[in-house]
Amino acid sequence: MPSNLSRKPDFMSHKFVIGVAHLLPLPGSPSFDGDVKAIFDRALEDASALKNGGVDGIIVENLGDAPFTGGHVRPHVVAFMAVIARRISNEFGLPVGINVLRNDGVSAIAVAAAANARFVRINVLTGAMVTDQGIVQGNAYEVLRYRREIGFDDRIAIFADVAVKHAYPLGYGYDLVQAAKDTYGRGGADALILTGAATGAPTSPEDLKTLREALPEAPIIIGSGVTPENIQLLSCANGFIVGTYFKKDGIVTNPVDEERVKKLVDAVKNLD
């Protein structure tokens, strides 16, 4: 399935860095502390540090809502994420993306449409993975049709994981290259994301090389474990989604550290 070039964010024309605004626990989640204002304050502070550090885009993700559902999130999660993401888009002028954990691609499209976001991340677009949420199945059929139904085919790009972190392929004989081809071709992803085994875990340079050789035309994004120290090993990727490294002391629950952002962004610029 050919990609619609008009919906790809402009930053995809060069090596890019996407920073993550990890939301604090939203209302209803077990770790929510009752302070709604703090959710907005942290998201905007992190977005400011990411922009000042030089990222090309920001993806908004409800990481604080663990444990996650393997199905659709509650309506208020969609509402909160849409309002927060829209504020980030309006105030910082960077392309914004949405990831509704664990794998609610339809809600991610809805949030993106309301928030003027340019892309979504979907952890399992095709196939099936065994996760801590149970078996999570891809639903490219519904996601792509919903995007067309609401009229955002030419506006919202889909970045989809292959062998996503915190998950194992269901069944025997899993083939990384074939899974990537299915996700990019039959599944309709606009870019592929490759990660390590867990949040903050390094991505295999060997797996990246394998996918690059097998799909030279596909944009490939590294989705975990990126640091200035290993960036050269991952230099054939088109872009990088960075969460953990950008946080103070490299701890994922901490606020974004602007100096760490600048350091990694500079390292990526030196790859061009």
Does the structure show a pLDDT above 70 at 269?
yes
pLDDT at 6: 81
Does the structure show a pLDDT above 90 at 42?
yes
Q: Average pLDDT for residues 242-267, to the nearest whole number?
A: 98
Q: Are strands 134-137 and 128-131 parallel, antiparallel or unpaired?
A: antiparallel
Tens-digit pLDDT profile for residues 140-199: 999 999 999 999 999 999 999 999 999 999 987 899 999 999 999 999 999 999 999 999
pLDDT band for position 3 (cuts 50, 70, 90): low
pLDDT band for position 248 (cuts 50, 70, 90): very high
Does the structure show a pLDDT above 80 at 45?
yes
pLDDT at 78: 98
- Which segments of the chain does DSSP mark as H helices, in order? 36-53, 75-92, 105-115, 140-149, 176-181, 205-214, 258-269
Q: What is the pTM of this model?
A: 0.96
pLDDT band for position 1 (cuts 50, 70, 90): low
Q: Average pLDDT for residues 2-30, to the nearest whole number?
A: 92
Does the structure show a pLDDT above 70 at 2?
no
Residue-by-residue DSSP string for 162-224: ES-SSEEESSSS--HHHHHHIIIIIS--SEEEE--SSTTPPPPHHHHHHHHHH-TTS-EEE-S
Tens-digit pLDDT profile for residues 77-121: 999 999 999 999 999 999 999 999 999 999 999 999 999 999 999
Q: Average pLDDT for residues 57-77, to the nearest whole number?
A: 97
Does the structure show a pLDDT above 90 at 47?
yes
Domains of the chain (ranges plus CATH)?
12-269 (3.20.20.70)
Quick one: angle between helices 105-115 and 140-149, nearest 10?
A: 30
No. of helices (H) and no. of strands (E), the chain: 7, 11
Q: Average pLDDT for residues 67-75, to the nearest whole number?
A: 97
pLDDT at 172: 76
**Tokens, residue 17:** 């860095």
pLDDT at 272: 66
Measured in whole angstroms, how far is the alpha carbon of residue 69 from the centre of its chain? 17
Distant-in-sequence, close-in-space partners of 44: CB < 8 Å, separation ≥ 6: 87, 88, 91
**Structure-model confidence comparison of residues 32 and 174, the more confident one:** 32
- With tokens 């993106």, the residue in question is 112
Tens-digit pLDDT profile for residues 120-131: 999 999 999 999
pLDDT at 30: 97
Tens-digit pLDDT profile for residues 209-244: 999 999 999 999 999 999 999 999 999 999 999 999
For 171, half-sphere exposure in the C-beta direction (CA atoms, 13 angstrom radius) is 11
